[in-house]
Amino acid sequence: MEREIIALLLEQEVISEDMVDKLKNVDKDKLLDSLKEFALKNTEQIKYEDIRRGLKTNYVGQNIYCFPKVFSTNTLAKFLASKGAEDGTAVIAEVQTKARGRSGKKWESPKGGIWLSLVLRPNLPPSKASLITLATGVAVAKTLISLGVDAKIKWPNDVLVKGKKISGILTEASATLNEIDYIIVGVGIDINFKVKELDPELHDTVTTLNEELGKSVNENDIISLFLKEFEDIYDNYKSGNVEDILGQWRILSDTIGKYVEIRHPLGKVNYGYAIGINKEGCLIIEEADGQIEKMISGECRTLSGR
């Protein structure tokens, strides 16, 4: 009976929030199996078999759910996590209809991009959660560099090519006082479409891999590469190898050594030279009067090189 309900609901092209709501009380194993079955059949470009063919990981992406259209892979991944999805499970969509960016912004997700969320269960205290965002930035940047572009990371987690944003990361965690229950790391990478397809206000600040290389690169191959890069750094994260992550981040950083403006959610603004990053992922800046300040979050804008 439950399988029939799932099958019926999954016939719909769009996995809506309403649908997820209806599935809340369905048995966990049946739900995960049925969703995976559905995911296997329905996508056009992002193909489970093609990702698997190039996949060299031990556990990240060994469980993959690829959907043609989802409102937000992060929201769906959260739901799957609440149903017991394992560490390293990947949720991927060809198109997202209500994707979320940082600071409550919307995120455009047309066909041709990589829109992917990972369910992570690192068994660490909540204080360690923010470092995974920096680690993910490193994995994205290294993946793009291996494809031939000069990718850099702007604090905290935008990946840029020649100063234009090509990728963004949205991390969401669920935790008790002492332990992370799960982290959802959502990654958006602009691959095989033109910037002109996006909202005009993004035309001057965003780029795509296709624009940078002047050719298309198969998204499935890039996903396999990214999952391997991610697993390598995620293993370091889980074993507490913070310095390795920060060391890689510093090398790839487009922020350290620059004069920056940090705009905080409640309106405060700091200006200073970015001189470092600490193990919580905070940016350390030196202000004009020599004062050293620790930036926990905020929108970073680079004003000049040193």
- Binding residues for ligand BTN, rule: CB under 6 A, are 72-74, 96, 99-102, 105, 107, 109, 115-117, 158, 168-170, 186-188
Min CB(243)–ligand BTN separation in Å = 26
Min CB(241)–ligand BTN separation in Å = 25
Asked if residues 265 and 297 have their Cβ atoms less than 8 Å apart, the reply is: yes
Min CB(273)–ligand BTN separation in Å = 24
Min CB(86)–ligand BTN separation in Å = 19
Residues 157 and 253: their CA atoms lie apart, in Å, by 10
Among 191, 295, 170, 224, smallest CA distance to 61 is for 224
The beta strands (E) that lie in the chain are given as: 64-70, 89-96, 114-120, 151-154, 158-161, 164-175, 180-189, 258-263, 269-277, 283-286, 292-295, 299-305
Structure tokens at 197: 């397809």
Structure tokens at 279: 């193990």
Closer Cβ to ligand BTN, 117 or 130, answer by number: 117
Closer Cβ to ligand BTN, 72 or 270, answer by number: 72
Asked if residues 71 and 97 have their Cβ atoms less than 8 Å apart, the reply is: yes
Q: How many CB atoms lie within 10 A of CB 172?
A: 17
Closest chain position to ligand BTN (CB): 168
Closer Cβ to ligand BTN, 188 or 272, answer by number: 188
Closer Cβ to ligand BTN, 101 or 257, answer by number: 101
Min CB(247)–ligand BTN separation in Å = 23
Closer Cβ to ligand BTN, 109 or 220, answer by number: 109
Q: Residue 292's beta-bridge partner residues?
A: 286
Closer Cβ to ligand BTN, 131 or 153, answer by number: 153
Q: How many residues does the chain have?
A: 306
Min CB(100)–ligand BTN separation in Å = 4
Min CB(118)–ligand BTN separation in Å = 10
Closer Cβ to ligand BTN, 74 or 236, answer by number: 74
